[in-house]
A and B are shown apart, each in its own frame.
Chain A
Amino acid sequence: MSDNDLRTLMRDAVGDAPAREFSTPVIASAARARTRRRRALYGVAGIGAAASVAAAVAIGGSLLSSPAPAPVAQPSAPASAPSDPGAIALPSSLPVGETVAVVDGALPSGTSVGELPMDAAWTPDGTIELPLATPSGTASLSLSASASGCSADSSALDAATLDAVASAICSAAAQYPNQPGTVVDGGSIDPAA
C-alpha cells in the first residue's frame, strides 16, 4: 500500500462516483429561476416599503390637518414622480433594502450582510457601510456609487467578489432615476433610501 496516503485515499473514495452530467440548459434555467425569485423578492420588499411610507405620510397628514383644516404644506415630489396625489411614492434611488438584497446575491455562500444598524442609509455622496457576517466573524463592507461607477471595499472579501458586488450595485442603481443617496427636495434625503 505504498500509495496509501491521504491524497490517494481521497481520490479512491471519489473514484467510483455515480455518473452525473450537469447540462448547461438546466443550469441556465436554474439561474433564470433564481433571478426571478430575487426580483420577486425585491418587488415585494419595494412595495412594502412604499406602502409603509405612503401610510406614514397619510397618518402624518391627517394628524396635522385635523385641528384646523388649513392647507398643509406637502413635500414636493421629485421631478420624475407622477403628480397623482393618491399614487404610492416610488423610490427615486436605490433603497437600502434592495442594496442589501443585491449585495447578498453577489456574496459567496456562507457570507451575508449582517444586522443593519438603525441609521443605515446611503449618504448624499453615494456611500454606505454595511456589516458582513462571514464564516470567520464579522467585517465591514464599504460601497460607493456615483455617475462615474461603483466600488466595493472590504478586507473580508477577495477582489473577484468585490468586483461582483460593485457590478451588481451599479446594475441595480441604474434602475432608478437618481444615484443612491441623491438629495432631493432642497435638502431632504430621498425618504425611500
Chain B
Amino acid sequence: MVEDRDGAFTEWAQRTAQQLRGTAYLLCGDWHTADDVVQDALVRVYERWHRIRPEAATSYARRVVATSAVDRSRKPWRREVPSDVLPDRPSGPHDDGPDYDVVSALAELPSRQRAVLVLRFFDDLSVDDTARVLGITPGTVKSSTSRGLDRLRELMRTPVLAGLDEEKP
C-alpha cells in the first residue's frame, strides 16, 4: 500500500518538480530558497496524497509554492534592509540594453504582482486559474498583470514585452 502510494507519488513528483522549481526560482530569486519551497510543497502533497487526485495535486503544489514565496517575502526578517554600502552589480544602467535580467526585475515587483506574472507567463495559467491558485479575484489578476508588466518594461527598458497584457485570458 505504502509502496503503491510512494510509486505514484514519485512518478507525479518527477513530472512536476522541475516546473515547480522554475516557478519557485522566479518567485524567490535564488535556487536554495526555491528548493526549500518546492521540498515543502512536495511534503505537503505527500501528506495528502491519498486524499487528492494527481491533477489536483499539481494545482495544490503550485499554490503552496506561490503562497510560500509570497509569505517569505512578507516576513520581516526577509525584507530588504537599508544599507550604506551598495552591493556590487554586474553591470550598471546602459542605454543600449536592459538594466535588469528578468529575475532581478521580478524581484523588484511587489510579491503579488510577481506571483501573478510568473503563474501567467511561466506556468501558462489562465486568469481564472491564477486567481484560484492565489486566492484572489480575476479582476485583481488582470490589474496585477497590467501593472506588473508596466513595471517590468520600465525596469528592463526593452520594448519586447509590449502587447503581452493585451492577450486574451
Q: Which A residues are within 8 Å of any B CB, using their own CB?
A: 1, 4-7, 9-14, 17-18, 20, 22, 24, 27-28, 30-31, 34-35, 106, 108-111, 134-136, 156, 158, 160-161, 163-164, 167
Contacts and interface: CB of A to CB of B under 8 A. Distances in A.
Contacts of B68: 109-110
A30 B43 contact: yes
Contacts of A9: 101-102
A109 B161 CA distance: 31
A160 B60 contact: yes
B118 A108 contact: no
B58 to A, nearest CB: 11
Interface residues of B, number: 53
Given A6-B117, A7-B122, A109-B71, A27 B42 contact: yes
B89 to A, nearest CB: 17
Contacts, number: 115
Given A9-B102, A110-B70, A31 B46 contact: yes
B127 interface: no
Nearest to B22: A14
A164 B70 CA distance: 22
B31 A18 contact: yes
Nearest to A21: B17
B10 interface: yes
A6 B134 CA distance: 20
Contacts of B17: 22
A160 B121 contact: no
Main DSSP-derived SS at the B contact region? helix
Given A109-B40, A109-B67, 19 more contacts: A4-B160, A5-B161, A7-B124, A9-B101, A10-B26, A10-B102, A17-B21, A17-B31, A24-B9, A28-B6, A106-B48, A108-B60, A109-B71, A110-B135, A111-B135, A134-B135, A135-B112, A136-B140, A156-B135
Contact of A108 (B18, B21, B67): B67
Contact of B71 (A12, A24, A110, A136): A110
B47 interface: yes
B35 interface: yes
28 contacts: A5-B164, A9-B101, A10-B22, A10-B102, A11-B22, A11-B122, A13-B26, A14-B25, A17-B31, A24-B6, A24-B46, A27-B9, A27-B46, A30-B39, A34-B47, A108-B60, A108-B67, A109-B40, A110-B68, A111-B67, A111-B135, A135-B135, A135-B136, A136-B134, A136-B135, A136-B136, A160-B60, A164-B51
B112 to A, nearest CB: 8
Contacts of B18: 17
Contacts of A18: 31
Contact of B121 (A1, A6, A34): A6
Contacts of A7: 121-122, 124
